[in-house]
Structure 1
Amino acid sequence: MMKKHVLALAISAVLLAACGKKEEPAPAPAPVETTAAAPAAPAGPVLDDEKVLNIYNWPDYITETMIADFEKETGVKVNYDTFENNEALHAKLVAGNSGYDIVIPTAGFGKKQIDGGLYQEIDKTKIPNYANLDPEFMAKIAGVDPGNKHFVPWAWGFTTVGINKQKVEKALGGMPMPENAWDLVFKPEYANKLKGCGIIYLDSPSEILPVALHYVGKPAYSENPEDFKEAGAMLAKVRKDVRLFSSTMIDDIAGGKGCAFIGWSGDINIAADRVKETGGKDEIVPLLPTGGGLVFIDTMAIPKDAKHPNNALAFMDFYLRAENGAAMANEMNYPTGNKAALPMIKDEVKGNKTIFLSDEDTARLIPTGGFSNEVSGVVNDTYNAFKRGK
Structure 2
Amino acid sequence: MHRFVLLACLLLPALLLPRAAAAETVLNVYNWSDYIDPAVIARFEAQTGIRIRYDVYDSLETLEGKLSAGRSGYDIVVPTSEPTFARLVRAGALQPLDRARIPNWRNLDPALMQRVAATDPGNRFGAIYLWGTVGLGVRLDRVRALWPEAPLTGGLDLLLKPENAARLASCGLAVIDSATDVLPSVLAWLGKDPNSADPADLRAAEQALLAIRPHLRAIPGSGAMLDMLASGEICAALTYSGDVIQAAARAREAGKGVELRYLVPPGGAHLWFDMLAVPADAPNPAAAFAFIDFLLQPEIMAAITSKVRYPNAVPASRPLVAEAVREDPNVYPPEAALAHAFVPGTPAQGAERLRSRLWNRFRTGR
Specify if TM > 0.5.
yes
Are the counterparts in 2 of residues 112 and 372 from structure 1 also a CA contact under 8 Å? no
Matched, 1:308 2:284: yes
Match for 1:143 among 80, 100, 118? 118
For residues 353 and 342 of structure 1, what CA distance do their matches in structure 2 show? Answer: 13
Q: Which amino acid aligns with 2:244?
A: I
| Cα offset, 1:362, TM superposition | 2.1
Match for 1:222 among 193, 196, 199? 196
Matched, 1:126 2:101: yes
Are the counterparts in 1 of residues 143 and 150 from structure 2 also a CA contact under 8 Å? no
Are the counterparts in 2 of residues 50 and 308 from structure 1 also a CA contact under 8 Å? no
Q: Deviations over 1:120-157 (max 9, x none)?
A: 01111100110111111110111211110101111001
| Cα offset, 1:370, TM superposition | 2.8
Secondary structure in 2 matching 1:167: helix
Residue 385 of structure 1 corresponds to: 361
Q: Deviations over 1:95-138 (max 9, x none)?
A: 11101011000011211111111100111110011011111111
Match for 2:237 among 254, 261, 273? 261
For residues 365 and 312 of structure 2, what CA distance do their matches in structure 1 show? Answer: 38
Residue 82 of structure 1 corresponds to: 56
Query: Counterparts of 1:178-327 in structure 2 under 5 Å?
Result: 179-247=153-221, 248-327=224-303
| Cα offset, 1:202, TM superposition | 0.5
Residue 47 of structure 2 corresponds to: 73
Are the counterparts in 2 of residues 134 and 339 from structure 1 also a CA contact under 8 Å? yes
Match for 1:155 among 117, 124, 130? 130
Report which of the two has the higher share of helix: 2
Give the superposed CA RMSD.
Answer: 1.5
- Structure number with greater Rg is 1
Residue 61 of structure 1 corresponds to: 35
Residue 171 of structure 1 corresponds to: 146
Secondary structure in 2 matching 1:82: strand
Matched, 1:329 2:305: yes
For residues 348 and 30 of structure 2, what CA distance do their matches in structure 1 show? Answer: 23
Identical-pair percentage? 35
Are the counterparts in 2 of residues 180 and 291 from structure 1 also a CA contact under 8 Å? no
For residues 290 and 135 of structure 1, what CA distance do their matches in structure 2 show? Answer: 26
Query: Counterparts of 1:93-108 in structure 2 under 5 Å?
Result: 93-108=67-82
Residue 25 of structure 2 corresponds to: 51
Runs of 4+ in 1 over 4 A off after TM superposition: none
For residues 350 and 296 of structure 2, what CA distance do their matches in structure 1 show? Answer: 35
Are the counterparts in 2 of residues 200 and 260 from structure 1 also a CA contact under 8 Å? yes
Q: Which amino acid aligns with 2:256?
A: G
Instruction: Describe the shift of the 1:54–1:192 C-alpha distance in structure 2 as closer, same or farther (beyond 3 A).
Output: same
Are the counterparts in 2 of residues 128 and 317 from structure 1 also a CA contact under 8 Å? yes
Q: Deviations over 1:16-51 (max 9, x none)?
A: xxxxxxxxxxxxxxxxxxxxxxxxxxxxxxxx9651
Give TM-score, length-normalised by structure 1.
0.85
Q: Deviations over 1:145-190 (max 9, x none)?
A: 11101011110011110100011112224x4415422011110111
Give structure 1 stretches of 5+ with no counterpart: 1-47
